[in-house]
Chains A and B, each alone.
Chain A
Amino acid sequence: EVQLLESGGGLVQPGGSLRLSCAASGFTFSNYAMTWVRQAPGKGLECVSAISGSGENTNYATSVRGRFTISRDNSKNTLYLQMNGLSPEDSAVYYCARCSGTLSGYYFASWGQGTLVTASS
């Protein structure tokens, strides 16, 4: 059974940093691209970043490019999202998800339970 468990969320002051982690189990982690999707309170879904199985290829939403860094440690079956320069607009539940599809593009068949990030003074 695929399991994804996020951690690292919390309350941070505007301008601060957080690192989210997503521990994966139940599948061969290095064979799958992974993504972070966020959802602000009462709002829709935004795919903020994705990374290939090897970690060589990454993508970022315009809203986070230059501030967020996605990475992975395939030896630890763990996905990360380093978030710097946080603003109140980054406050959201952050989900990690396993990507399915082709090299052209991915949909998300398995999701974690989410971790809440709040940037507020």
Chain B
Amino acid sequence: DIQMTQSPSTLSASVGDRVTITCRASQSISSWLAWYQQKPGKAPKLLIYKASSLESGVPSRFSGSGSGTEFTLTISSLQPDDFATYYCQKYNTYPYTFGQGTKLEIK
């Protein structure tokens, strides 16, 4: 099975910062990658699909890029509501594996 590895596991940043989270696949998954945001006690929320397509209603400060084995999620200017845990997920074939998560904390 293809493994998904996110880095860093924890990221400390301030409101207004630009932050980037990386997700690496152990084999090529083309652009079949999604990003989710999860807050404590809540279900995940889809942010990005097909590596770079922004889900309807998601603020434009979120963007995704990459293909093959390396992908990034970028938040251009952090807002207080963005402090959460972020997961990537590959979906080229089953199993639809998630990365281990990146917790974005307030510095």
Contacts and interface: CB of A to CB of B under 8 A. Distances in A.
Q: Which of B49, B93, B94, B98 has the most CB of A within 10 A?
A: B94
Contacts of B91: 101, 104-107
Contact of B43 (A46, A95, A106): A95
A50 B38 CA distance: 21
B43 A44 contact: no
B98 A47 contact: yes
B59 to A, nearest CB: 16
> What does DSSP make chain A's interface, helix, strand, loop or mixed?
strand
> What does DSSP make chain B's interface, helix, strand, loop or mixed?
loop
Contacts of A114: 43
A105 B93 CA distance: 5
Interface in A1-40: 35, 37
Contact of B101 (A44, A50, A101, A112): A44
A54 interface: no
B34 A107 contact: yes
A82 B72 CA distance: 37
Nearest to B46: A109
Given A45-B36, A47-B95, 14 more contacts: A35-B96, A44-B87, A44-B98, A45-B87, A45-B98, A47-B98, A61-B95, A95-B44, A107-B49, A107-B96, A108-B36, A108-B44, A112-B43, A113-B43
Interface of B: 1, 32, 34, 36, 38, 43-46, 49, 55, 87, 89-101
